[in-house]
Amino acid sequence: MTTAPAATGTAIGMSGLTVRFTTRRSQTTALDDVSLDIEPGEFVTIVGPSGCGKSTLLKIVAGLVKPTSGDVSLLERPVRGPQKEIGFVFQKAALLEWRGARANILLQAEMRGMDRAQAARRADELIEMTGLTGFEKALPHELSGGMQQRVALCRALLHSPPVLLMDEPFGALDALTREQMNAELHRIWRETGTTVVLVTHSIAEAVFLGTRVVVMSPRPGRIIRTFPVELPAHRDYAQVMSDPRFDRLATDLRGLLGSAAANH
Amino acid sequence: MTENSLDTAGRQAAADEASGAQAAAPTPGAPHAVDGRSPSTVVKAPPDGARPPRRTLGRRAVTFADSLWRPALVLAVFFAAWWFVAAREYVPNYLVPTPGQVWETMTTQWSELARHTLVTLYETVLGFVLAAALGLVTAVAIAYSRTLDKALYPIVLFAQVIPKIAIAPLLVVWFGLGLTPKIILAVLIAFFPVVISGVAGLRSTDPELLDLAATMGAGPWRTFRKIRFPNALPHLMAGLKVAVTLAVVGAVVGEFVGASEGLGYVLLLANGNLDAPLLFADLILMSAIGIVLFVLVEIAEALLIPWHASRRAGVSLTTS
């Protein structure tokens, strides 16, 4: 508690990250010299066209992919191998089909060997917070896509990670559910103060959720620009959508992404 | 711990920026409930339907009976046809006995037949259990290690393509007339489907789940126990169902080559004596072993993986 890395330094530091994949025929550069520092408590959203290496970037931070060159640090420590101080949410909920919602959330605790009673209490809190009450025993196939993703989110938050990495978590949801999930995620972020990095295709999602929006170019992925989001920390979905600042930023982003794609 | 202080820091920041207007704690009905579905509304109006009702014992029995009457009807028709052909002696009785004759043989020689059935059953079950254990271990080795995959797969395949019937005499020479060669044969024949299905199952784990397990800091054993093994079970159970029926074949073939007991031995004896009723009774018992063991594996499957798509429709013990 007192050694919380939140107070000082960066939550995530990336410098000169480059990833090249070598296939038999050719060499492709997925990421090209990406540098980005993320402060504790920030909500950074990364937008970019498909295949720009956004997901790879998250996996590098998580220590699941090794960059060809460059350095990453998580909570001031260099990343070597899979990181434990994170929660990861994928586009697919990636739940265990044989476990009910609550048991799926508790997988996190079992895999980490966390204290059972404490984990169970935390799970119940999260279930309540995400509106999963009444569905604790439901198997994944009995849940809607949005509910499944809520379970995945709870699982990622169970151990109260200082950093939450989200790879297009709501990409497979319908527009309405997506808006609800955005609003919920915003609320959860405000309540927990977790540092979040969220990769998305959706400009609206990026602006509504982010304190900073990072725009990436098509392959090879580079950071084109970073926009601070000048919206209040506490956001209401409907209000934000009609806010002129939202409109301006969304238009800028759309223009930037469009021209980046055209130049490619 | 770290999280708590972080929480506080985040809350503080959020509260500050929102000029202290909104505390972080979500109170349903509070102003900011508009920005999300407050917990209470979600509970009252879940977006998807309620869970299906749990099947009661009575409903299970109905499903079971429903899955049984069609094959039962087919069997009844078959028996009627058999009885008709045999009783009218369209085919001489020393070739095709009547069901009555077979029943009589079965009852009068029951103690003998039961003893031989138990021998074959023992060989089959032991062979199957060993094949399942060995097969699973081999599958794990192949699925986890690239080196072992390259080293073992060709050998497993080679062991499979050798005609087992051709090596049965060799096994008898090596291990004598006792139970050992029969069990070995049952193992050899039942091993392959277990390995193949086990490898397929273990390799079918969603790579994202494995990534997730890595970020959870879990070691390989926990990942195997909590994720990979349960995930492989549906494949594995399919392989075990094939294996258990093949184990019967292995045991009987072993008995054909050299034995003094077991249903295979009785079959050869009956054949030599042109004792068609005994031969038929023997065949029925062999099939019964296979069916009973298959059903047991099916029941195990229903208990182990009730969650799997193949089992959701209801407990069907037949292939209807």
Closest in A40, A143, A187 to B35, CB measured: A187
Residue B173 has pLDDT above 60, yes or no: yes
Q: What is the pLDDT confidence band of residue B4, given thresholds at 50, 70 and 90? A: very low
pLDDT band at B118 (very low <50, low <70, confident <90, very high): very high
Residue A103 sits in the same domain as residue A166: no
Question: Which run of H or E residues covers position A163?
Answer: strand A163-167
For residue range A96-123, list pLDDT tens digits in order.
989 999 999 999 989 988 888 999 999 9
Under 8 Å between Cβ of A95 and A104? yes
Q: Which residue has the tokens 């043989």?
A: B105
Give the percent of chain B with pLDDT over 90: 42
Contact (Cβ atoms closer than 8 angstroms) between residue B244 and residue A129:
no
Which residues does chain B have within 8 Å of residue A190's beta carbon, measured at their own beta carbons?
A: 10-11, 14, 24
Angstroms from A234 CA to nearest CA on chain B = 6
Across A234-244, average pLDDT? 81
Ranges A28-42, A107-121, B20-34: which has the least confidence:
B20-34
pLDDT at B311: 63
How large is the average pLDDT for residues A20-38?
A: 83
Do A136 and A231 fall into the same domain?
Answer: no
Mean residue pLDDT across chain A: 85
Which residue in A64, A139, A186 is closest to B35 by CB distance? A186
Q: Strands of A43-47's sheet, edge to edge?
A: A86-89, A163-167, A195-200, A43-47, A212-216, A223-228
The predicted structure's pLDDT at residue B45:
39
Judged against a pLDDT cut of 70, whether residue A5 lies above it is answered with: no
Q: What is the mean pLDDT of residues A207-214?
A: 89
Domain count, chain A: 2
Domain boundary among A133, A161, A189: A161
More confident residue, B244 or A249: B244
Contacts of A159 in chain B (CB under 8 A): 3
Of A1-5, A93-97, B241-245, the least confident: A1-5
Using pLDDT thresholds of 50, 70 and 90, give the confidence band for residue A249: confident
Contact A131 B42 (CB under 8 A): yes
Q: Is the pLDDT of residue A68 over 50?
A: yes
Taking the alpha carbons at both ends of chain B, their separation in whole angstroms is: 57
- Torsion over CA: A76, A77, A81, A83 (sign): negative
- In this model, does residue B8 exceed pLDDT 50? no
Residues A62-90 have a mean pLDDT of 87
Q: Do the Cβ atoms of A234 and B21 come within 8 Å? A: yes
Domain that holds residue A105: 96-161
In this prediction, residue A4 carries a pLDDT of 44
In a domain, A107, yes or no: yes
Which of B23-37, B88-102, B134-148 shows the highest mean pLDDT?
B134-148
Instruction: State the helix-helix crossing angle for B229-257 and B180-203, rounded to 10 degrees.
Output: 160
Examine the pLDDT at B1 and tell me if it is beyond 50: no
For residue A19, being part of any structural domain is answered with no
Q: Are residue A157 and residue A170 in the same domain, yes or no?
A: no
* Of B308 and B11, more confident: B308
Instruction: Select the more confidently predicted residue: B36 or A235.
Output: A235
Contact residues on chain B for A90, CB-CB shorter than 8 A: 208, 212
* pLDDT value of residue B122: 94
Q: What is the mean pLDDT of residues A206-212?
A: 89
Q: Mean per-residue pLDDT for A73-84?
A: 85
Q: Where are the alpha helices (DSSP H) in B25-56?
A: 39-44
Q: Are residues A71 and A147 in the same domain?
A: no
CB contacts of A146 in chain B (<8 Å) are 47
User: Residue B74: its pLDDT value, please?
Assistant: 93
In a domain, A70, yes or no: yes
The reply to whether A144 and A113 lie within a common domain is yes
pLDDT value, residue A48: 84
Beta-carbon separation of A92 and B32 below 8 A: no
Do the beta carbons of residue A213 and residue A45 sit within 8 Å?
Answer: yes
Evaluate if residue B254 carries a pLDDT over 50: yes
pLDDT greater than 50 at residue A62:
yes
What is the model's pLDDT at position B259?
83
Joined tokens for residue B222: 């926990």
What pLDDT shows up at residue A264? 56
Q: Chain B, 71-90: which have a CB under 8 Å from a chain A CB?
A: none
More confident residue, B133 or A142: B133
Report if residue A61 sits inside a domain: yes
Residues of B in contact with A131 (CB under 8 A): 37-39, 41-43
| CATH number for the segment(s) B102-309 | 1.10.3720.10
Determine the residue of chain B that is closest to A234 in CA distance: B18
Say if residue A112 is in the same domain as residue A70: no
Instruction: Using a CB–CB cutoff of 8 Å, tell me whether A108 touches chain B.
Output: yes
Kindly state whether residue A41 falls inside one of the protein's structural domains. yes
pLDDT single digits (tens) B262-292? 999 999 999 898 889 999 999 999 999 999 9
Tell which of A140, A161, A182 closes a domain: A161
Give the nearest chain B residue to A85 (CA atoms): B215
pLDDT at B312: 61
- The answer to whether B48 contacts A144, with C-beta atoms less than 8 Å apart, is yes
Nearest by Cα to A44 from A10, A85, A78, A71: A10
Q: What are the chain B neighbours of A40 within 8 Å (beta carbons)?
A: 6, 9
Contact A236 B17 (CB under 8 A): no
Instruction: Please state, as a whole number, how many other Cβ atoms lie within 10 Å of the Cβ of residue B12.
Output: 13
Residue A10 falls inside a structural domain: no
Same domain, A227 and A257: yes
Residues A31 and A33: their CA atoms lie apart, in Å, by 7
Contact A135 B46 (CB under 8 A): yes
Q: Is A84 on the interface with B (CB under 8 A)?
A: yes
Residue A144 shares a structural domain with residue A245: no
Question: Which stretches of A113-162 are DSSP H helices?
Answer: 116-129, 145-157
A183:B36 CB<8 A: yes
Determine the average pLDDT of the residues in B54-70: 77
For residue B243, pLDDT over 50 is answered with: yes
Task: Tell me if B39 and A193 make a contact (CB, 8 A cut-off).
Answer: no
- Same-domain check for residues A246 and A153: no
A226, A253: one domain: yes
Pairing of strands A43-47, A212-216: parallel
Whole-number mean pLDDT of chain B? Answer: 80
Which residues of B fall within a CB distance of 8 Å from A183? 35-37
**Residue B319, pLDDT above cutoff 60:** no
**Residue A250 CA from chain centroid, whole number:** 19
Instruction: Specify whether A114 is located in the same domain as A233.
Output: no
In a domain, A9, yes or no: no
> Across the interface, which of B13, B51, B231 has its CB nearest the CB of A41?
B13
Q: Which residues contact B41 (CB under 8 A, 6 or more apart)?
A: A131, B28
Treating both helix axes as pointing N-terminal to C-terminal, what angle do B99-108 and B110-144 enclose, rounded to 10 degrees?
A: 90
Q: What is the CATH number of the domain that holds A206?
A: 3.40.50.300
Q: Give the dihedral sign, CA B57/B62/B66/B68.
A: positive
- Going from N- to C-terminal start, the domains of chain B cover 2-44, 61-91, 102-309
If one compares A256 and A89, the residue with the highest pLDDT of the two is: A89
Higher pLDDT, B316 or A190: A190
Same structural domain for residues A166 and A80?
yes
Residue A200 within any structural domain of the chain: yes
Please determine, for residue B39, whether its predicted confidence score (pLDDT) is greater than 60: no
Cβ under 8 Å to B: A residues 134-193 = 134-135, 137-139, 141-144, 146-147, 159-162, 177, 180, 183-184, 186-187, 189-193
Q: Please check the confidence at residue B43 and state whether its pLDDT lies above 50.
A: no
- Answer whether the bond into residue A220 is a cis peptide, omega within 30°: yes
Question: What are the start-end ranges of the H helices in A193-243?
Answer: 203-209, 237-241
A224 touches chain B (CB under 8 A): no
Mean pLDDT of A121-133: 88
Contacts of B154 (CB under 8 A, 6+ apart): none
Greater model confidence, B311 or B13: B311
Query: Span B65-79, mean pLDDT?
Result: 88
- Distance separating alpha carbons of residues B27 and B31, to the nearest angstrom: 9
Final residue before a domain boundary, out of A113, A141, A161 = A161
Chain B residue numbers touching A3 (CB-CB < 8 A): 2
Average pLDDT over residues B51-58: 60
Tell me the C-alpha distance between B195 and B137, whole Å. 8
Q: Which residue has the higher pLDDT, B82 or B59?
A: B82
Give me the DSSP letters along B267-294. Answer: HHHHHHTT-HHHHHHHHHHHHHHHHHHH
